[in-house]
Structure 1
Amino acid sequence: MKVIRAKHAGVCYGVERALDMAQAAMMDDETTYTLGPLIHNPKVVEKLSAHGVQVANDVDDIDSGIVVIRSHGVEPSVLDCLNAKGLTVIDATCPHVAKAQRAAAELRDLGGTVLVIGRAEHPEVRGLCGHAGNAAVVVAGVEEIPAELSEPVGIVVQTTESKEKLGAVVEALRSRGIEPVVKNTVCFATRQRQDSAAMLAEEVDAIVVIGGKNSSNTTHLFEICKAHCPRSFFVESVDELDAAWFDGCETVGVTAGASTPEDQIDEVVDYLETL
């Protein structure tokens, strides 16, 4: 069976940067915390924990030490609380997310409504809403756009969303006579991975998507692959693979989310090449 890896797959710059910053922080004598999981990859978070990097779920859980802000960013009020407690703060917010946060603040200052396209429960979206203030309205898609909107209407996007979803929301507003102020904050690396996965899924008999089940960008990758290849499988590690999934396959593709390091991809590829 031939194993083909997607042209663009795995850890992106923002995740690699966050990992480097956390690893540098843990060399200090002070206890190092991340406010929530640094990235959405349980295996990586476990490795950091084994080296003493603790996950705190709330600012109140930290009284001293170093706090690394997760790659998804946080609300401005959270940073204010950390600084007020006199903690050492290392901001590992992905630069693309930071750009989206600035865009949300700019749209807030225009007045009206700021539509935040994304998943309401996602930490990046909570951070964007914090920068957009009371003007923020989160929508997962066209069907969630409110009937009443205060104009002007601005749009900012969770960086791991798709440009297709952004386009659909824009068109839905235009059909209502609303011309939105659009900040296209979809990450280029995310788009590369989505396009590459779609192309590969069209060409293979089966495809494996590797990444945390709690990862938004990896979930989107799986959804894209499933639309193009019915035999698409979403796993966090090589241990979840079942040889029976690939019975009769001549080709299998491999792709991975932006929080999936190289060693996790290599383990899956190595296993598949034994079949």
Structure 2
Amino acid sequence: MKRSVQIAEQAGYCFGVRRALDMVKEHLTGHDKRVYSLGPIIHNPQVVEEFRKRGLTPVESLASVSEGVLVIRSHGVEKELLEEAHRKGLEVVDATCPFVKNAQRLARQLSEDGYQVLIVGEEAHPEVKGILSYCGENTLVVSSVEHLEGKAISPKAGILAQTTQSQERFIKIVHAVLLVAYECRVFNTICNATLARQTAAVELAGAVDVMFVIGGRNSANTARLAELCRAGGTTTYHIETADEIMPEMVSGKQRIGITAGASTPSTHIEAVQKRLEQIDG
């Protein structure tokens, strides 16, 4: 029996990532200045390396950058770093995803209105670090209901999310905060594309024998896709490239599903599909 390989209806580059890369391409081809990105422009090592070869230099700080073009990555950066770039006279190209920008704006608004801000997300993630920089000192970052235990919640709380969080996790944390806060404002800042991608991945995972989730291992949204696929009991592999696929991964499997994170180009998805179709049944 021949294997079937199916790709999720929503997979690969999202609007914010595609927009950021288009902005980088424009400045690499139309300017003579050196072009830098503060951190990787997106969370995909292969794409970052491709753009490095084309002239985009990722840097971890602005200490070594005195002139040229600075591209703000799709995840955004801390407010203070943006201010520093302007003080240094750098040409700033802000490729922050508009959905992330919205979360930053809402965080600042809540703080100015006297709310304790709770961010549902991962504290070490660049996007969350950026959102935090617009908040007051008593802000909390929580990734689960358990992380709320022992935390002081203000009677006046405002909640928003890292844009790539799962809807289920966000709802659980909101419910827990509602039980202890007197007044609570909730902004569901999860990106619509993230939700659609997660829903499509879960649906496909439920209909196949094995799932392949393509994307950088440093990509939070890709890791979340793999987590959701595994949660339903489907054997799931998180890979970056087709080269990682071994025949034993699909041994005895007839129905194979593929999805990909928001920083995964279509060429990577096509390569994985081709590799899977080439493996003998």
* Gaps in structure 1 of 5+ consecutive residues: none
Give the SS at the match of 1:133.
Answer: coil
Identity of paired residues, percent? 42
Contact 2:75 2:127 in 1 (8 A): yes
Deviation at 1:148, TM superposition (A): 1.7
Q: Structure 2 regions of 5+ residues with no counterpart?
A: none
Aligned equivalents of 1:57, 1:200: Cα separation in 2: 38
> Which of the numbers 216, 226, 231 marks the counterpart of 1:227?
231
Are 1:103 and 2:136 counterparts?
no
1:208 aligns with 2:215: no
Q: Deviations over 1:28-77 (max 9, x none)?
A: 10000000000000000000001111001002121111000000001211
- Deviation of residue 137 (structure 1)? 1.2
2:135 matched to which residue of 1?
132
Number of residues paired by the alignment? 275
1:241 to 239, 245, 259: 245
* Superposition map of 1:28-177 within 5 A: 28-145=31-148, 146-177=150-181
**Aligned match of 2:25:** 23
For the 8 Å contact 2:156–2:181, the answer to whether it is kept is no
1:184 maps to a residue whose letter is: N
**Alpha carbons 2:10, 2:196 under 8 Å: kept:** yes
TM-score under structure 2 length normalisation: 0.95
SS of residue paired to 2:135: helix
Equivalent residues of 1:173, 1:179 under 8 A apart: no
Tell me how large the CA RMSD over aligned residues is: 1.1
Moved more, 235-244 or 224-233: 224-233
Measure how far apart 1:232 and its partner are.
0.6
**Contact 2:205–2:234, Cα closer than 8 Å, also in 1:** no
- Tell me the CA shift for residue 179 of structure 1: 4.0
* Equivalent in the alignment of 1:274: 278
| Cα shift at 1:125 | 0.2
Deviation at 1:229, TM superposition (A): 3.8
Give the secondary-structure state (helix, strand or coil) at the position aligned to 2:137: helix
Structure 1 residue 147 displacement after superposition: 3.2
The superposition leaves residues 89-130 of structure 1 with CA deviations (integer Å, 9 ceiling, x where unpaired) of 000000110111111111111213100110000000000000
1:124-181 CA distance string (max 9 Å, x none): 0000000113242111111112532223100110000011111111111222254421
